Structure 1
Amino acid sequence: MKKLSLIDKVVFVINTILAAVLLVSFILPFLPPKTFSSLSVLSLGVPFLIIVNVLFFIYWLLKIKRQLILSLFVLIIGYIFYGSLYKFSSSDDTETSPNELKVMNYNVRLFNLYHWIDEKDIDLKIVDFVKSQAPDILSIQEYHPQSNIDFSFFKYRYEKLAGLRTKHGQVILSQYPIINSGSVEFPDTSNNAIFSDIVKGKDTIRVYNIHLESLRIDTDVEKLKEEGSERLFKLAGNTFKMQQFQTELFLLHERQCHYKMIICGDFNNTAFSYVYRKIKGDLNDTFKEAGNGFGRTYAFKFFPVRIDFIFADDAFTVKKFKTFDEHFSDHYPIMTTLSLKAVE
């Protein structure tokens, strides 16, 4: 520190604080929000903290200063436990097989019902986009039935809607027969989890579509500035408590299933959160298996946020994963290609 300029000393103090915060955030997936509600809010900022610490590392590297060790150490710890925020490679498997299954997840934000996006025919563009990608299974959150929304190119469907004036909810659409379906009800909210048991060949696959409690915070930066930090922390903390309770209800239901399993959904939380760790369990995060880039799924301007997921159990090989850039909602669609493993 003695050999650093005044500016570099200030930079290193800030670096130390943000590195320490990032280090603390690595234990968040193990801390239940019901007990650590305020601390759990940090899970939303982990991608930002990682990026900032990468920039600090580059700053000290260019200056050839040993202070680079601080951020490097914290980043290595994070990589060991959680892998890379950015995926540098993806699967190039182009071979197809009869056992393949293309699964898409998409929060469509009511098909732009209230014109959040100033563009015409967003609803029709979403339908056309899905049709062009031809998923075998489509999991939708914030679905709103409308006369011009035609998903009849899927042969089977299960939907669960709520609301008095504006019907909305979750839907699972499938090209393969649905032999059983239902809902995991979350109290005091319109959010829930639905499931469908889908038959492909000789296999029955349980597909879950989960929509955990939303933060209901406007992510526009100027509007965020108008909100008091204390109120934001309290609101986020209470939301994460609800998400934990909803996750516990879901897991009670999921444990009773003995089929091959795929879990899709909008968790309204990141891969560094308690609810992500609990729901994922021993399943494979298809983005981590075959994705590339940051895998951002939510339209936030200043750093990538991944809050939508597709998990699959070990009965499947994850062949491909893609995050699309189509901006028809505040979420981006994601799709994975899975292959059922042969039974030996």
Structure 2
Amino acid sequence: MSREYYDDYRHGASRKRRKSLPGSVFNGVMLILSVATGAAMIVTLLAPFVHPGRIWIFPVLGLVAPAVYVFTLLITLYWIIRWRWRIALPLVVLLLAGLFKVPLFLKPELRRHYGEETSFGRGVITLLTFNVRSFYNDRGQWSFDGVTEVIRRVNPDIVCLQEFNRTSSKAEELDSLLSDYDRTVVMEGNRRDPVFPLALYTKYRILGKSHSILGPMKQDGQSVWVDLLVGDDTIRIFNNHLHSTAITVHDDKYLSEHQFLTDTAGGAKIKNIFRRFRDNSMLRAAQADTIARAIAATPGCKIVCGDFNDTPMSYTYRVMAQDLDDAFRASGKGYSYTFRGFMDVLRIDYVLYSEDLECLDYQVLYDVDLSDHYPVVVRLRPVKR
């Protein structure tokens, strides 16, 4: 063959090698990301089973579980398109394991019903749970009248309020406005008390109530049960407000607007946020253990609701929801979030119930901006046996 042929072949091979170099670098970066993403996915799946006091990273990744799952899915699709099954297959296995957790966050609405009013029939229990932030919205505006109007509009049979106003005068004023309801407040509290009261309003007869399940505490967080006579049945309602994450509005803005990227002290601030989140996750886990024992010791029909301040991929949720059904998982639609902040991705308010009940409907009232949480409305019905 001619010398020109070999020269052309040699130069062509060199060009191919040069062209493939950026691709090789990109694949190397993707491989590193794949390993990191796979490790993050494993930690996320294990987060509900590991006490936050052991390893701090578990509750952090549990907080952002949907983002970890989506990122893992995108990385997996890249390797499938490239036909690199040796890399893609382990990620596919992790995605399949995580698939069982997706209904805790997302319930695809396969059929939509437009303009149809749902009739639930007789014997339905309508429950509203709402962290009212002492009747101040997330802009610091007084929201007492708005909260009252929401309760009247929904007309629930049971109203569970968290972070109730500490002054007894507000409870008495709400009593007069909600004359169809009986009210029980666990503790009145005072302005120096770090613990916010819980309140329960109901149209049913109140048979009894507990003192604080968590006892006197120096940190916030509270839980109480109330027994109600519903028809011929006694139903125990657990109203809960677990310890706060202590992530402030400033922290939320600092993270969501990526201010840490240009802040010279960003590393120290991020570390401080993570430290507070870790410490408060440990406190919530301890509270959840105590409440879970009280729930497990309760025979018969029960509803557990309130502000858990933790996501479905957390130790707190797993312990609290043990042997109970989640109203969103049963009747929710779309992606559910209940906290007004942190980019509107966190579901931290729940209604759980025992097998004696069935869930007919689940709603988050996204048109209500009276707190830093949204109200959750659930309709339940006793199961006929």
What does residue 116 of structure 1 align with?
138
| Structure with more of its chain in helix, by fraction | 2
For residue 44 of structure 1, report the CA deviation from its aligned partner: 1.2
Work out whether residues 38 and 234 of structure 1, in 8 Å CA contact, stay in contact via their aligned partners in 2: no
What does residue 152 of structure 1 align with?
178
Work out whether residues 325 and 352 of structure 2, in 8 Å CA contact, stay in contact via their aligned partners in 1: yes
Residue deviations 1:51-92 (CA, integer Å, cap 9, x gap): 333444566678887676565443221013564631113898
What does residue 342 of structure 1 align with?
384
What does residue 30 of structure 1 align with?
49
1:260-299 to 2 correspondence within 5 Å?
260-299=301-340
What does residue 203 of structure 2 align with?
175
| Equivalent-residue separation in structure 1 for 2:269 and 2:312 (angstroms) | 26
Letter of the aligned partner of 1:156 in structure 2? D
> Quick check: 62-71 or 208-217, which moved more?
62-71
Change (3 A) 1:174 1:39: same
| Structure with more of its chain in strand, by fraction | 1
Which ranges of structure 2 fall in alignment gaps of 5 or more residues? 1-19, 261-265
For residue 215 of structure 1, report the CA deviation from its aligned partner: 1.3
Higher relative contact order (CA 8 A, sep 6+): 1
Change (3 A) 1:249 1:334: same
Change (3 A) 1:51 1:143: farther
Kindly name which structure, 1 or 2, has the bigger radius of gyration based on alpha carbons: 2
Change (3 A) 1:162 1:148: closer
Residue deviations 1:2-39 (CA, integer Å, cap 9, x gap): 89464465345334422320222101111122333443
Work out whether residues 157 and 203 of structure 2, in 8 Å CA contact, stay in contact via their aligned partners in 1: yes
What does residue 223 of structure 1 align with?
254
For residue 230 of structure 1, report the CA deviation from its aligned partner: 2.5
What does residue 185 of structure 1 align with?
214
| Equivalent-residue separation in structure 1 for 2:78 and 2:370 (angstroms) | 37
SS of match in other structure, 1:110: helix
Provide TM-score, normalisation by structure 1: 0.87
| Equivalent-residue separation in structure 1 for 2:207 and 2:334 (angstroms) | 37
| Equivalent-residue separation in structure 2 for 1:37 and 1:176 (angstroms) | 43
What does residue 88 of structure 1 align with?
108
1:254 paired with 2:295, answer yes
Change (3 A) 1:5 1:104: farther
From 209, 218, 233, give the equivalent of 2:274. Answer: 233
SS of match in other structure, 1:26: helix
1:330 paired with 2:372, answer yes
What RMSD over aligned residues (CA atoms) do the two structures have, in Å?
A: 2.9
Work out whether residues 135 and 142 of structure 2, in 8 Å CA contact, stay in contact via their aligned partners in 1: no
> Quick check: 240-249 or 2-11, which moved more?
2-11
From 14, 20, 32, give the equivalent of 2:39. Answer: 20
Letter of the aligned partner of 1:265 in structure 2? G
> Quick check: 240-249 or 224-233, which moved more?
224-233
Residue deviations 1:212-267 (CA, integer Å, cap 9, x gap): 11011125444344562322222222112211221222123223322310000111
What does residue 74 of structure 1 align with?
94
SS of match in other structure, 2:107: coil
| Equivalent-residue separation in structure 1 for 2:23 and 2:341 (angstroms) | 36
For residue 278 of structure 1, report the CA deviation from its aligned partner: 0.8
Change (3 A) 1:84 1:152: closer
Which ranges of structure 1 fall in alignment gaps of 5 or more residues? none
1:105 paired with 2:129, answer yes
Change (3 A) 1:305 1:81: closer
| Equivalent-residue separation in structure 1 for 2:234 and 2:91 (angstroms) | 47
Percent identity of paired positions between Structure 1 and Structure 2: 22
SS of match in other structure, 1:268: coil
Work out whether residues 220 and 244 of structure 2, in 8 Å CA contact, stay in contact via their aligned partners in 1: no
1:138 paired with 2:159, answer yes
SS of match in other structure, 2:317: helix
Letter of the aligned partner of 2:209 in structure 1? S
Change (3 A) 1:158 1:2: farther
What does residue 10 of structure 1 align with?
29
| Equivalent-residue separation in structure 2 for 1:43 and 1:169 (angstroms) | 28
